A = this chain, B = another copy of it.
Amino acid sequence: MTCSDPSSAPEPGEYEPPSESGPRPGPVGDDATARACLTAVADPGDTAMGALLDEHGAAAVWQALRDGETPQPPPGARPDTVARRAARWRDRAARIDPDALLATTAELGSRLIVPGDPGWPTQLDQLGRRRPYALWVRGAHDLRHACLRSVAVVGARAASAYGTHVAGELAWGLGQRSWAVVSGGAYGIDSAAHRGTLAAAASAVAVLACGLDLSYPRGNEALFADIAARGALVSEHPPGTPPSKHGFLVRNRIIAALTPGTVVVEAGLRSGALNTARHGQDLHRTVMAVPGPVTSALSAGCHRLLRDGAAVCVTGTDDVVEQVGRIGADLRSEEGGTALDRDSLDATARRVLDAVPDRACAGTASVAEAADLGLDAALSSLGLLAAAGFVERGPSGWRTTTGRGPGRG
Protein backbone atom coordinates (compact mmCIF):
# COMPACT_ATOMS: atom_id res chain seq x y z
CA MET A 1 0.00 0.00 0.00
CA THR A 2 1.09 3.58 -0.50
CA CYS A 3 -1.06 5.37 2.05
CA SER A 4 -2.41 7.70 -0.59
CA ASP A 5 -5.76 7.51 1.14
CA PRO A 6 -5.67 8.68 4.76
CA SER A 7 -8.90 6.78 5.44
CA SER A 8 -6.95 3.57 4.97
CA ALA A 9 -5.11 4.30 8.19
CA PRO A 10 -7.83 4.82 10.76
CA GLU A 11 -5.76 5.14 13.92
CA PRO A 12 -8.23 6.29 16.54
CA GLY A 13 -5.62 7.58 18.93
CA GLU A 14 -3.75 9.40 16.23
CA TYR A 15 -6.17 11.90 14.85
CA GLU A 16 -7.76 12.87 18.10
CA PRO A 17 -6.51 16.12 19.56
CA PRO A 18 -4.65 15.10 22.72
CA SER A 19 -7.27 14.97 25.44
CA GLU A 20 -6.71 16.49 28.88
CA SER A 21 -7.24 13.11 30.47
CA GLY A 22 -9.62 10.23 30.14
CA PRO A 23 -9.15 6.83 28.57
CA ARG A 24 -7.80 6.41 25.07
CA PRO A 25 -10.66 6.38 22.60
CA GLY A 26 -10.06 2.83 21.39
CA PRO A 27 -7.21 0.36 21.03
CA VAL A 28 -3.98 2.05 20.04
CA GLY A 29 -1.72 -0.92 20.45
CA ASP A 30 -0.83 -0.90 16.76
CA ASP A 31 -0.17 2.81 16.85
CA ALA A 32 2.10 2.55 19.88
CA THR A 33 4.03 -0.40 18.46
CA ALA A 34 4.42 1.36 15.14
CA ARG A 35 5.71 4.49 16.87
CA ALA A 36 8.15 2.44 18.93
CA CYS A 37 9.51 0.90 15.75
CA LEU A 38 9.64 4.23 13.93
CA THR A 39 11.93 5.69 16.62
CA ALA A 40 14.42 3.01 15.55
CA VAL A 41 13.88 3.84 11.87
CA ALA A 42 13.91 7.62 11.49
CA ASP A 43 16.22 10.19 13.05
CA PRO A 44 14.48 11.97 15.92
CA GLY A 45 12.76 15.21 15.03
CA ASP A 46 12.76 14.44 11.29
CA THR A 47 10.11 16.75 9.89
CA ALA A 48 9.55 14.53 6.86
CA MET A 49 8.60 11.66 9.18
CA GLY A 50 6.56 14.08 11.30
CA ALA A 51 4.60 15.15 8.25
CA LEU A 52 3.95 11.53 7.24
CA LEU A 53 2.72 10.70 10.74
CA ASP A 54 0.38 13.67 10.67
CA GLU A 55 -0.93 12.62 7.29
CA HIS A 56 -1.24 8.85 7.50
CA GLY A 57 -0.87 7.81 11.13
CA ALA A 58 1.96 5.74 12.55
CA ALA A 59 0.59 2.27 11.81
CA ALA A 60 0.11 2.99 8.12
CA VAL A 61 3.55 4.57 7.75
CA TRP A 62 5.18 1.69 9.56
CA GLN A 63 3.27 -0.88 7.50
CA ALA A 64 4.27 0.82 4.25
CA LEU A 65 7.94 0.80 5.20
CA ARG A 66 7.76 -2.84 6.28
CA ASP A 67 6.13 -3.66 2.97
CA GLY A 68 9.06 -2.03 1.18
CA GLU A 69 6.94 0.87 0.00
CA THR A 70 7.30 4.64 0.18
CA PRO A 71 4.48 6.41 2.04
CA GLN A 72 2.73 8.95 -0.16
CA PRO A 73 4.34 12.36 0.54
CA PRO A 74 1.82 14.68 2.19
CA PRO A 75 0.96 18.02 0.60
CA GLY A 76 3.82 20.42 1.09
CA ALA A 77 6.48 17.74 1.64
CA ARG A 78 9.18 17.39 -1.00
CA PRO A 79 8.62 14.04 -2.73
CA ASP A 80 12.34 13.58 -3.46
CA THR A 81 13.23 14.10 0.21
CA VAL A 82 10.60 11.63 1.33
CA ALA A 83 11.69 9.08 -1.30
CA ARG A 84 15.38 9.41 -0.34
CA ARG A 85 14.70 9.06 3.35
CA ALA A 86 12.17 6.28 2.86
CA ALA A 87 14.86 4.17 1.21
CA ARG A 88 16.93 4.38 4.39
CA TRP A 89 13.89 3.87 6.60
CA ARG A 90 12.88 0.73 4.69
CA ASP A 91 16.35 -0.78 5.13
CA ARG A 92 16.19 -0.17 8.85
CA ALA A 93 12.56 -1.27 9.16
CA ALA A 94 13.37 -4.63 7.61
CA ARG A 95 15.82 -5.37 10.44
CA ILE A 96 13.49 -4.50 13.32
CA ASP A 97 11.69 -7.10 15.45
CA PRO A 98 8.76 -5.21 17.04
CA ASP A 99 8.08 -7.88 19.61
CA ALA A 100 11.69 -7.96 20.72
CA LEU A 101 11.77 -4.16 20.96
CA LEU A 102 8.72 -4.09 23.22
CA ALA A 103 10.02 -7.02 25.26
CA THR A 104 13.30 -5.19 25.86
CA THR A 105 11.39 -2.08 26.87
CA ALA A 106 9.55 -4.03 29.55
CA GLU A 107 12.69 -5.87 30.71
CA LEU A 108 14.39 -2.52 31.31
CA GLY A 109 11.58 -1.47 33.60
CA SER A 110 10.66 1.24 31.14
CA ARG A 111 7.43 1.96 29.37
CA LEU A 112 6.46 3.60 26.14
CA ILE A 113 4.16 6.60 25.91
CA VAL A 114 2.81 7.98 22.67
CA PRO A 115 0.71 10.98 21.65
CA GLY A 116 -2.85 10.40 22.74
CA ASP A 117 -1.89 8.50 25.89
CA PRO A 118 -3.24 10.11 29.08
CA GLY A 119 0.35 10.40 30.30
CA TRP A 120 1.63 12.00 27.09
CA PRO A 121 3.00 15.50 27.84
CA THR A 122 0.79 17.43 25.47
CA GLN A 123 3.10 20.43 25.80
CA LEU A 124 5.37 18.52 23.38
CA ASP A 125 2.74 18.89 20.68
CA GLN A 126 3.89 22.48 20.22
CA LEU A 127 6.95 21.03 18.53
CA GLY A 128 4.69 20.33 15.55
CA ARG A 129 6.36 18.06 13.06
CA ARG A 130 9.41 17.83 15.31
CA ARG A 131 7.37 16.22 18.08
CA PRO A 132 8.97 12.98 19.31
CA TYR A 133 7.41 9.91 17.68
CA ALA A 134 7.19 8.32 21.14
CA LEU A 135 8.96 8.52 24.48
CA TRP A 136 10.51 5.82 26.60
CA VAL A 137 10.11 6.53 30.29
CA ARG A 138 11.70 4.85 33.32
CA GLY A 139 10.30 5.81 36.70
CA ALA A 140 6.89 5.85 38.29
CA HIS A 141 6.34 9.56 37.86
CA ASP A 142 3.57 10.85 35.70
CA LEU A 143 5.68 12.77 33.22
CA ARG A 144 2.89 14.97 31.96
CA HIS A 145 1.71 16.12 35.35
CA ALA A 146 5.20 16.53 36.75
CA CYS A 147 6.21 18.73 33.85
CA LEU A 148 3.19 21.02 33.98
CA ARG A 149 4.86 22.53 37.03
CA SER A 150 8.49 22.26 36.09
CA VAL A 151 11.55 24.26 35.16
CA ALA A 152 14.46 23.17 33.02
CA VAL A 153 17.83 23.90 34.62
CA VAL A 154 20.61 23.44 32.10
CA GLY A 155 24.17 24.50 31.52
CA ALA A 156 27.76 23.67 30.83
CA ARG A 157 29.24 20.23 31.33
CA ALA A 158 32.62 21.67 32.35
CA ALA A 159 30.95 23.92 34.90
CA SER A 160 32.73 25.91 37.57
CA ALA A 161 32.29 25.39 41.29
CA TYR A 162 30.20 28.58 41.16
CA GLY A 163 27.93 27.17 38.48
CA THR A 164 27.32 23.80 40.14
CA HIS A 165 26.70 25.52 43.46
CA VAL A 166 24.11 27.86 41.95
CA ALA A 167 22.45 25.07 39.93
CA GLY A 168 22.17 22.84 42.98
CA GLU A 169 20.76 25.60 45.19
CA LEU A 170 18.31 26.67 42.53
CA ALA A 171 17.03 23.14 41.88
CA TRP A 172 16.78 22.46 45.59
CA GLY A 173 14.81 25.66 46.13
CA LEU A 174 12.47 24.83 43.27
CA GLY A 175 12.03 21.31 44.62
CA GLN A 176 11.18 22.74 48.02
CA ARG A 177 8.31 24.52 46.34
CA SER A 178 7.21 21.33 44.59
CA TRP A 179 8.50 22.29 41.18
CA ALA A 180 9.88 19.45 39.11
CA VAL A 181 13.27 20.13 37.56
CA VAL A 182 14.10 18.84 34.09
CA SER A 183 17.64 18.57 32.79
CA GLY A 184 19.81 16.53 30.46
CA GLY A 185 21.71 14.19 32.78
CA ALA A 186 25.13 15.51 31.75
CA TYR A 187 28.02 16.23 34.08
CA GLY A 188 28.31 19.73 35.49
CA ILE A 189 25.21 21.91 35.70
CA ASP A 190 22.78 19.14 34.71
CA SER A 191 24.00 16.75 37.41
CA ALA A 192 24.04 19.48 40.03
CA ALA A 193 20.43 20.35 39.14
CA HIS A 194 19.29 16.72 39.33
CA ARG A 195 21.04 16.24 42.69
CA GLY A 196 19.52 19.39 44.12
CA THR A 197 16.07 18.26 43.04
CA LEU A 198 16.51 14.80 44.57
CA ALA A 199 17.81 16.39 47.78
CA ALA A 200 14.53 18.29 48.04
CA ALA A 201 12.61 15.04 47.45
CA ALA A 202 11.05 16.60 44.37
CA SER A 203 10.53 15.23 40.87
CA ALA A 204 13.77 15.00 38.92
CA VAL A 205 13.34 14.45 35.20
CA ALA A 206 16.34 13.62 33.01
CA VAL A 207 15.89 13.64 29.25
CA LEU A 208 18.67 11.47 27.82
CA ALA A 209 20.10 11.47 24.32
CA CYS A 210 20.58 7.69 24.23
CA GLY A 211 18.59 4.55 24.94
CA LEU A 212 17.50 4.12 28.56
CA ASP A 213 19.51 0.90 28.81
CA LEU A 214 22.69 2.92 28.40
CA SER A 215 24.01 5.24 31.07
CA TYR A 216 25.70 8.17 29.45
CA PRO A 217 27.80 9.59 30.90
CA ARG A 218 28.86 6.39 32.61
CA GLY A 219 29.75 8.14 35.85
CA ASN A 220 26.15 9.20 36.32
CA GLU A 221 24.83 5.63 36.46
CA ALA A 222 24.00 5.85 40.17
CA LEU A 223 22.39 9.27 39.66
CA PHE A 224 20.23 7.88 36.86
CA ALA A 225 19.15 5.00 39.10
CA ASP A 226 18.08 7.53 41.74
CA ILE A 227 16.19 9.58 39.16
CA ALA A 228 14.41 6.46 37.86
CA ALA A 229 13.45 5.57 41.43
CA ARG A 230 12.28 9.03 42.44
CA GLY A 231 11.55 10.85 39.21
CA ALA A 232 11.68 9.94 35.54
CA LEU A 233 14.30 9.10 32.94
CA VAL A 234 13.06 9.99 29.49
CA SER A 235 14.33 9.32 25.99
CA GLU A 236 12.97 9.43 22.47
CA HIS A 237 15.51 6.78 21.46
CA PRO A 238 14.82 3.04 21.56
CA PRO A 239 16.93 0.88 23.86
CA GLY A 240 20.40 0.30 22.53
CA THR A 241 20.79 3.70 20.84
CA PRO A 242 24.22 5.17 21.64
CA PRO A 243 24.57 8.92 22.25
CA SER A 244 25.42 11.08 19.22
CA LYS A 245 26.06 14.76 18.62
CA HIS A 246 22.82 15.03 16.68
CA GLY A 247 21.00 13.23 19.47
CA PHE A 248 22.15 15.80 22.04
CA LEU A 249 20.98 18.73 19.95
CA VAL A 250 17.54 17.34 19.13
CA ARG A 251 17.18 16.20 22.75
CA ASN A 252 17.36 19.84 23.82
CA ARG A 253 14.08 20.63 22.07
CA ILE A 254 12.35 18.12 24.34
CA ILE A 255 13.80 19.71 27.49
CA ALA A 256 12.61 23.12 26.32
CA ALA A 257 9.18 21.88 25.26
CA LEU A 258 8.46 19.85 28.41
CA THR A 259 8.82 22.88 30.68
CA PRO A 260 7.21 26.31 30.96
CA GLY A 261 10.65 27.84 31.44
CA THR A 262 14.34 27.13 31.00
CA VAL A 263 17.11 28.51 33.22
CA VAL A 264 20.63 28.59 31.78
CA VAL A 265 22.98 28.54 34.76
CA GLU A 266 26.39 28.60 33.13
CA ALA A 267 27.15 28.36 29.44
CA GLY A 268 30.01 29.24 27.17
CA LEU A 269 29.33 31.01 23.90
CA ARG A 270 29.01 27.67 22.06
CA SER A 271 27.27 25.70 24.78
CA GLY A 272 24.47 23.28 24.00
CA ALA A 273 22.51 25.03 26.75
CA LEU A 274 22.14 28.01 24.43
CA ASN A 275 20.57 25.62 21.94
CA THR A 276 18.04 24.64 24.60
CA ALA A 277 17.43 28.33 25.29
CA ARG A 278 16.79 28.98 21.62
CA HIS A 279 14.29 26.13 21.49
CA GLY A 280 12.62 27.73 24.51
CA GLN A 281 12.42 31.07 22.70
CA ASP A 282 11.03 29.43 19.56
CA LEU A 283 8.34 27.82 21.69
CA HIS A 284 7.59 31.11 23.46
CA ARG A 285 8.59 29.66 26.81
CA THR A 286 10.24 31.76 29.48
CA VAL A 287 14.00 31.75 29.03
CA MET A 288 16.07 32.76 32.03
CA ALA A 289 19.80 33.14 32.59
CA VAL A 290 21.87 33.25 35.76
CA PRO A 291 24.60 35.91 35.58
CA GLY A 292 28.11 35.25 36.75
CA PRO A 293 31.48 36.96 36.80
CA VAL A 294 32.18 38.69 33.48
CA THR A 295 35.70 37.35 33.85
CA SER A 296 34.39 33.78 33.46
CA ALA A 297 34.06 32.41 29.94
CA LEU A 298 31.53 29.94 31.37
CA SER A 299 29.08 32.77 31.97
CA ALA A 300 29.60 34.43 28.58
CA GLY A 301 26.67 32.59 27.02
CA CYS A 302 24.36 33.65 29.85
CA HIS A 303 25.49 37.25 29.52
CA ARG A 304 24.92 37.23 25.79
CA LEU A 305 21.36 35.99 26.34
CA LEU A 306 20.84 38.81 28.86
CA ARG A 307 22.43 41.46 26.65
CA ASP A 308 20.33 40.45 23.67
CA GLY A 309 17.15 40.47 25.72
CA ALA A 310 16.73 36.77 24.94
CA ALA A 311 16.61 35.82 28.62
CA VAL A 312 15.45 37.31 31.89
CA CYS A 313 18.05 37.75 34.62
CA VAL A 314 17.39 35.40 37.54
CA THR A 315 19.51 35.07 40.66
CA GLY A 316 17.65 32.47 42.66
CA THR A 317 14.48 30.49 43.27
CA ASP A 318 12.35 33.54 43.99
CA ASP A 319 13.21 35.11 40.67
CA VAL A 320 12.50 31.90 38.76
CA VAL A 321 9.16 31.26 40.43
CA GLU A 322 8.19 34.87 39.78
CA GLN A 323 8.86 34.30 36.08
CA VAL A 324 7.19 30.94 35.56
CA GLY A 325 4.76 30.72 38.47
CA ARG A 326 1.09 31.32 37.98
CA ILE A 327 -0.01 34.51 39.65
CA GLY A 328 -2.06 33.74 42.71
CA ALA A 329 -0.87 30.15 42.84
CA ASP A 330 2.85 30.69 43.11
CA LEU A 331 3.56 34.21 44.21
CA ARG A 332 3.83 34.53 47.91
CA SER A 333 0.74 36.31 49.15
CA GLU A 334 1.07 39.15 51.63
CA GLU A 335 -0.57 37.05 54.32
CA GLY A 336 1.08 33.78 53.37
CA GLY A 337 -0.71 30.44 53.21
CA THR A 338 -2.85 28.97 50.49
CA ALA A 339 -6.39 29.69 51.70
CA LEU A 340 -7.28 31.86 48.75
CA ASP A 341 -5.93 29.40 46.23
CA ARG A 342 -7.83 26.52 47.78
CA ASP A 343 -11.03 28.54 47.75
CA SER A 344 -10.59 29.23 44.09
CA LEU A 345 -10.70 25.51 43.26
CA ASP A 346 -13.89 24.11 41.78
CA ALA A 347 -16.02 21.71 43.82
CA THR A 348 -14.70 18.57 42.12
CA ALA A 349 -11.07 19.58 42.58
CA ARG A 350 -11.71 20.33 46.25
CA ARG A 351 -13.33 16.92 46.71
CA VAL A 352 -10.34 15.25 45.08
CA LEU A 353 -7.88 17.29 47.14
CA ASP A 354 -9.68 16.24 50.32
CA ALA A 355 -9.39 12.63 49.17
CA VAL A 356 -5.61 12.78 48.81
CA PRO A 357 -3.85 11.69 52.02
CA ASP A 358 -1.55 14.15 53.76
CA ARG A 359 1.34 11.89 54.62
CA ALA A 360 0.93 8.52 52.87
CA CYS A 361 0.49 8.04 49.14
CA ALA A 362 -2.72 6.85 47.48
CA GLY A 363 -3.25 5.40 44.03
CA THR A 364 -5.47 7.17 41.52
CA ALA A 365 -8.18 4.50 41.95
CA SER A 366 -8.36 4.90 45.72
CA VAL A 367 -8.45 8.70 45.44
CA ALA A 368 -11.27 8.41 42.90
CA GLU A 369 -13.17 6.08 45.20
CA ALA A 370 -12.70 8.32 48.24
CA ALA A 371 -13.89 11.33 46.22
CA ASP A 372 -16.76 9.33 44.77
CA LEU A 373 -15.68 10.13 41.23
CA GLY A 374 -14.85 8.19 38.11
CA LEU A 375 -11.22 7.38 37.40
CA ASP A 376 -11.00 9.86 34.52
CA ALA A 377 -12.57 12.74 36.41
CA ALA A 378 -10.29 12.08 39.39
CA LEU A 379 -7.19 11.89 37.17
CA SER A 380 -8.16 15.12 35.47
CA SER A 381 -8.54 16.92 38.80
CA LEU A 382 -5.33 15.42 40.14
CA GLY A 383 -3.52 16.77 37.13
CA LEU A 384 -4.80 20.27 37.79
CA LEU A 385 -4.04 19.98 41.49
CA ALA A 386 -0.51 18.81 40.70
CA ALA A 387 0.00 21.65 38.25
CA ALA A 388 -1.15 24.11 40.92
CA GLY A 389 1.21 22.55 43.45
CA PHE A 390 -1.39 21.07 45.83
CA VAL A 391 -0.53 17.42 45.22
CA GLU A 392 2.32 15.52 43.72
CA ARG A 393 2.79 12.01 42.45
CA GLY A 394 5.26 10.04 44.50
CA PRO A 395 6.62 6.55 43.77
CA SER A 396 3.54 4.87 45.26
CA GLY A 397 0.76 7.27 44.39
CA TRP A 398 -0.58 10.75 45.10
CA ARG A 399 0.13 12.80 48.20
CA THR A 400 -0.43 16.40 49.21
CA THR A 401 2.51 18.79 49.18
CA THR A 402 2.00 19.82 52.81
CA GLY A 403 4.47 22.47 53.83
CA ARG A 404 5.77 22.72 50.32
CA GLY A 405 2.67 23.90 48.53
CA PRO A 406 2.24 27.14 46.65
CA GLY A 407 2.73 30.31 48.60
CA ARG A 408 5.01 28.69 51.13
CA GLY A 409 8.56 27.68 50.13
Q: Contact residues of A with B, CB < 8 Å?
A: 162, 165-166, 290-295, 299-300, 302-303, 306-307, 312-316, 319
CB pair B293 A303 closer than 8 Å? no
Report the minimum CB–CB distance from A304 to chain B (whole Å).
Answer: 8
Cα distance A314–B300 when bound, in Å?
Answer: 11
Known: A307-B319, A319-B307. A313 touches B291 (CB 8 A): yes
Q: 19 A-B Cβ contacts within 8 A?
A: A165-B295, A166-B294, A166-B295, A291-B292, A291-B293, A291-B294, A291-B302, A291-B306, A291-B313, A292-B292, A292-B294, A293-B293, A294-B316, A303-B313, A306-B306, A307-B312, A307-B314, A307-B315, A307-B319
Return the contact of A315 from the options B162, B165, B294, B313 (Cβ within 8 A): B294
Chain B residues with CB under 8 Å of A316's CB are: 294
Cα distance A1–B116 when bound, in Å?
Answer: 89
Report the minimum CB–CB distance from A216 to chain B (whole Å).
Answer: 30
Return the contact of A307 from the options B166, B294, B313 (Cβ within 8 A): B313
Chain B residues with CB under 8 Å of A290's CB are: 294
Cα distance A294–B292 when bound, in Å?
Answer: 6
Chain B residue nearest to A165 (CB atoms) is B295
Chain B residue nearest to A305 (CB atoms) is B313
Known: A291-B291, A300-B315. 14 other contacts (CB 8 A): A162-B295, A166-B294, A291-B294, A291-B302, A291-B303, A291-B313, A292-B294, A293-B293, A294-B315, A294-B316, A303-B313, A306-B313, A307-B315, A313-B313
Cα distance A162–B294 when bound, in Å?
Answer: 9
Chain B residues with CB under 8 Å of A312's CB are: 307
Chain B residues with CB under 8 Å of A162's CB are: 293, 295
Report the minimum CB–CB distance from A288 to chain B (whole Å).
Answer: 9
Return the contact of A303 from the options B294, B295, B307, B315 (Cβ within 8 A): B315
Chain B residue nearest to A312 (CB atoms) is B307
Cα distance A193–B315 when bound, in Å?
Answer: 26
Return the contact of A291 from the options B165, B166, B299 (Cβ within 8 A): B299
Chain B residues with CB under 8 Å of A166's CB are: 294-295
Cα distance A312–B307 when bound, in Å?
Answer: 6
Interface centre among A306, A312, A314 (most CB of B within 10 A): A306
Report the minimum CB–CB distance from A108 to chain B (whole Å).
Answer: 39
Cα distance A303–B315 when bound, in Å?
Answer: 7
Chain B residues with CB under 8 Å of A315's CB are: 294, 300, 303, 307
Chain B residues with CB under 8 Å of A294's CB are: 166, 290-292, 315-316
Report the minimum CB–CB distance from A366 to chain B (whole Å).
Answer: 44
Chain B residue nearest to A166 (CB atoms) is B294
Cα distance A166–B291 when bound, in Å?
Answer: 15
Report the minimum CB–CB distance from A174 to chain B (whole Å).
Answer: 15
Cα distance A299–B166 when bound, in Å?
Answer: 15
Cα distance A319–B165 when bound, in Å?
Answer: 28
Cα distance A139–B294 when bound, in Å?
Answer: 34
Chain B residues with CB under 8 Å of A300's CB are: 315
Chain B residues with CB under 8 Å of A319's CB are: 307
Report the minimum CB–CB distance from A400 to chain B (whole Å).
Answer: 32
Known: A300-B315, A307-B319. A293 touches B292 (CB 8 A): yes
